[in-house]
Structure 1
Amino acid sequence: MNYIWNKIAWGGDPDEINDVTGLSKRDIYNIRKSWTAMYAESEKYGLQLFLGLFRLNPVTKTFFKTIQDLDEEAISNSAQFRAHVINFMTSFNSAVTNLEHPEIVIALMNKLGESHRRRRIQKEHFDEVKVVLVDILKNQLSASDDLLASWTRFVGFIYKNIFEKLCETADC
């Protein structure tokens, strides 16, 4: 009976791991459900993510010439930076919404890796983004351990494909 229920409700085993993404159908469900809340307030959460990154590692602020000398309030009021935040959240949304098509996510993340390589962004900076993201998930969205595990697998998948291009000509 459980097999039939899973076939109907999930389209198969909800915990079967996709060989390409490393994610299960349950992971995708968890990620999308929590992402919906974040994306509904994308500018708010995107700004929190970047401001948290700048607090964690102030050097990262220097990657953005237009805001490198601004305080947090001025950064939050910068239309140009807010546009970058929205672009970031939209890119993240594209990855979340295309998880059933990993080849699309891989292409998107490879492109992101290439563009960040040209800007000399390092792998460690992406790791710091992950730290801030987990903090937001825990403290603002009350993420459970299961949800955090799903996000960890998701970030691992996208980072693998970002790093493939980010580290193409450099030691990572």
Structure 2
Amino acid sequence: MKLESNSLLLSSQEIAGFLKKTCEKGVPFKFTAKGMSMSPFICNGDSIIIEPVFKKKKIETGDIVAFITPDEGHLIIHRIIKKNSQYLLKGDNAFHSDGYCEKNDIHGYVKNIIINGKNVPNYHKTIRRCFLFLNNFKKIIAFSSQYKILTPVCRITNKVLNEK
């Protein structure tokens, strides 16, 4: 844990611990996303609100969930791309899946994404809002992610968003 300019910087394991405890109490958990594995749906610096998994009637293919790795205790926010007795997870901007996980390793699901508006041009926000709208079609997104159709689209979009 480290305090830096009015922000508390936590490791992935520390955030995972807080998330697990708050979700067990039935309380939503809000934090700032780090990384680009879910971009452009969730980008570095976006705030995300995780709702406890038991508040959702059923976890489905296409849901973006908060998963804690059982071996290292890292928090991962990725999409379910396939479901049978276990769940196959993958970042939308990643070429490979994370592998299968058990239901008890999923502690919450992404209820809301708050776009980080600091120094972001309006056309960036428009593109991001289009992707957030597309998230309503989560089964199609999961299918295109599973068959590696989505990743090139995400990479091209990220390139456009990062051009000056």
Please say whether Structure 1 and Structure 2 have the same fold, judged by a TM-score greater than 0.5.
no
Indicate the structure with greater strand content: 2
- After TM superposition, the score normalised by the length of structure 1 is 0.28
- After TM superposition, the score normalised by the length of structure 2 is 0.29
Indicate the structure with greater helix content: 1
**Larger RCO (CA within 8 A; separation ≥ 6):** 1
